[in-house]
A and B are shown apart, each in its own frame.
Chain A
Amino acid sequence: MTIKGKAYIAGIYEHPTRHAPDKSTAQLHAEVAKGAIEDAGLTKADIDGYFCAGDAPGGAWPMVDYLGLKVRHIDSTDTGGCSYLIHLGHAAEAIAAGKCSIALITLAGKPRTGPMPPRAAGAEADFEAAYGATTHNAYGMCAMRHMHDYGTTSEQLAWIKVAASHHAQYNPHAMLKEVVTVEDVLNSPMISDPLHRMDCCVVTDGGGALVVTTPEIAKSLNKPLVRLIGQGEAMKGPRGGKDLDLTYSAGVWSGPRAFEEAGVTPKDIKYASIYDSFTITVLMQIEDLGFCKKGEGGKFVADGNLISGVGKLPFNTDGGGLCSNHPVNRGGMTKIIEAVRQLRGQAHPKVQVKNCDLTVAHGTGGLLGVRHAASTCILERV
């Protein structure tokens, strides 16, 4: 049993807003849903499966009611920023099993202009919550150990932001459109050693949505054909303090599972969407997915190697979370959307990868190197 080729992405929509003081979170979900359904050339009545995560106000049942859906399959798996990369795999499984035929996946929220829903405490809370762990310092601790073990430098991390900014200059909706240099990154204020402000992603209101369907329905629509040919997911944690190693992520397991199912290797990939909550997130994921050996990520990302048209691995050509959009502090959705744009040939001409027929969209959710999930999706143009 495989999901290879069983599900096609027929509709995509990224909300153009980055600041939405005049909208509600549920409204943003509805707007991105409408956008993706219209992009697919379908109607709301066609949707028979719905997927959402912790950003959906109240979870799946209030959202299904608010949107006015009638569905026969639901999935509200929440694994933070990679939830939507996991939803895509689960939607393909549901479609392959006949549980639904047209699935809608939505993400939306407004961390800039509204309260964020509280995160439920895990069993570890009494033993960790008092120490002031934030995403910034948790990822900072990963970067610190990676530098210690492998000699990775702040200059190398800065190249990831530089590449993202080269792409963002062509995205009219990007929050940060200015091209920056390695020196700009190193001169930006230190937030949590060794991560500077420019090593961090933007915080944006907004969202995105996908419509996923069967091969038959996809072929009946007037759209370029993009299908999922492999997906892997995994989780990692310190497990009683014995397995703590902050230099690798669950991507070391999700990646090989996805590549094996797809029957391709990292060398075959033309474009990569890689979750970029911080620069270190990208560097570790590139290693974990096998684009280079563990510890050599710093060398790999340097000197513009991630810039489209310049380097060997064009990444996040929309400007990514580092420059364009990171709706609700959850980057998985926009990773899929830009990978689909590349496969459709609908990326900005300045960053469109030539003959882009095979991409990876990958991300983690939770705290990198500590308790987190990862999902890797291999997407192909037919």
Chain B
Amino acid sequence: MSEARKYPAPLTNPETKPFWDAATQGKFMIKRCTACGEPHYFPRSICPFCFSDKTVWEEASGEALIYTFSLMRKSPSGPYAIAYVTLREGPSLQTNIVDCDIDSLKIGQKVKVVFKPTDGAPLPFFTPV
């Protein structure tokens, strides 16, 4: 279903543009605060933990575990798996699990990032390893 689905282009803004620029290179970026050391996602310029402005971009491994998911059965574009995954670096984020048999997904399953094209920057999704 993921190939058939048309994804909207992210609008981007000055704060998040480096994330989308990196995505066009196939890189999945998170932000890390050099004051308190905490990583976070989605990216902010000011750390949501210690409020320092000393945040830097960091390429993440793209490896994650499924924290939870739900299979949306009622959708005009067909069923899809929405999920929260927890990155190896720590932060959890919302995504779809794609390119797989969604009926066999399990909490705790290993997944990795995969980018899908839009009319703008590519969007990150996750797929079972």
A residues whose Cβ falls under 8 Å from a Cβ of B: 123-134, 136-138, 140-145, 148, 189-195, 238-242, 244, 246, 370
Bound-complex Cα distance A125 to B16 (A): 11
How would residues 43 to 70 of chain B score, 1 for a CB under 8 Å from any chain A CB and 0 otherwise?
0100111000000000000000001111
Give the distance to chain B from A238, nearest Cβ to Cβ, in Å.
Answer: 6
The answer to the question of B107 belonging to the interface, with a C-beta cut-off of 8 Å to chain A, is yes
Q: B49 — which chain A residues lie within 8 A by C-beta?
A: 239-240, 242
The answer to the question of B94 belonging to the interface, with a C-beta cut-off of 8 Å to chain A, is yes
Q: B13 — which chain A residues lie within 8 A by C-beta?
A: 126
Give the distance to chain A from B86, nearest Cβ to Cβ, in Å.
Answer: 8
Bound-complex Cα distance A142 to B94 (A): 13
A193 with B71, Cβ < 8 A, contacts A130-B7, A240-B48, A244-B84 known:
yes
Taking a contact as CB atoms closer than 8 A, the residue among B39, B44, B71, B92 that contacts A244 in the complex is B92
Contact status B72-A126, CB under 8 Å: no
Taking a contact as CB atoms closer than 8 A, the residue among A128, A145, A190 that contacts B67 in the complex is A145
Give the distance to chain A from B71, nearest Cβ to Cβ, in Å.
Answer: 4
Bound-complex Cα distance A18 to B74 (A): 24
A132 with B72, Cβ < 8 A, contacts A126-B16, A246-B84 known:
yes
Taking a contact as CB atoms closer than 8 A, the residue among A130, A142, A148, A192 that contacts B74 in the complex is A192
Q: A137 — which chain B residues lie within 8 A by C-beta?
A: 70, 72, 82
- Of the four ranges (under 10, 10 to 19, 20 to 34, 35 or more), the interface on chain B belongs to 35 or more
How would residues 77 to 109 of chain B score, 1 for a CB under 8 Å from any chain A CB and 0 otherwise?
000101110110011111110000000000100
Q: B84 — which chain A residues lie within 8 A by C-beta?
A: 141, 244, 246
* B123 closest partner in A (C-beta): A130
Bound-complex Cα distance A193 to B83 (A): 12
* B92 closest partner in A (C-beta): A244
Q: A240 — which chain B residues lie within 8 A by C-beta?
A: 38-41, 44, 47-49, 91
Bound-complex Cα distance A137 to B75 (A): 11
Contact status B10-A192, CB under 8 Å: no
Contact status B38-A148, CB under 8 Å: no
Give the distance to chain B from A242, nearest Cβ to Cβ, in Å.
Answer: 6
Bound-complex Cα distance A238 to B47 (A): 14
* A125 closest partner in B (C-beta): B11
* A139 closest partner in B (C-beta): B70
Q: B48 — which chain A residues lie within 8 A by C-beta?
A: 239-240
Contact status A190-B11, CB under 8 Å: no
Extra contacts, 18 of them, besides A133-B82, A191-B74, A192-B73 (Cβ < 8 A), are A126-B10, A126-B42, A127-B41, A130-B7, A131-B95, A131-B96, A132-B80, A137-B82, A145-B68, A148-B68, A148-B107, A192-B70, A240-B47, A240-B91, A241-B41, A241-B86, A246-B84, A370-B94
Q: B73 — which chain A residues lie within 8 A by C-beta?
A: 189-193
Q: A129 — which chain B residues lie within 8 A by C-beta?
A: 8
Contact status B40-A241, CB under 8 Å: yes
Contact status B91-A241, CB under 8 Å: yes
Can you show 7 pairs from A to B with CB atoms below 8 A apart? A130-B123, A137-B70, A141-B69, A191-B73, A238-B92, A241-B90, A244-B86
Taking a contact as CB atoms closer than 8 A, the residue among A127, A145, A241 that contacts B107 in the complex is A145
* B93 closest partner in A (C-beta): A241
The answer to the question of B12 belonging to the interface, with a C-beta cut-off of 8 Å to chain A, is yes
Q: B40 — which chain A residues lie within 8 A by C-beta?
A: 239-242
Bound-complex Cα distance A197 to B39 (A): 39
Q: B86 — which chain A residues lie within 8 A by C-beta?
A: 241, 244
Give the distance to chain A from B81, nearest Cβ to Cβ, in Å.
Answer: 9
Taking a contact as CB atoms closer than 8 A, the residue among B11, B12, B42, B82 that contacts A141 in the complex is B82
Bound-complex Cα distance A123 to B73 (A): 28
Give the distance to chain B from A49, nearest Cβ to Cβ, in Å.
Answer: 35
Q: B10 — which chain A residues lie within 8 A by C-beta?
A: 126-127, 130
Taking a contact as CB atoms closer than 8 A, the residue among A127, A140, A191 that contacts B42 in the complex is A127
Bound-complex Cα distance A132 to B75 (A): 9
Bound-complex Cα distance A240 to B82 (A): 19
Give the distance to chain B from A198, nearest Cβ to Cβ, in Å.
Answer: 14
Bound-complex Cα distance A378 to B107 (A): 38
Q: B90 — which chain A residues lie within 8 A by C-beta?
A: 241-242
Contact status A140-B70, CB under 8 Å: yes
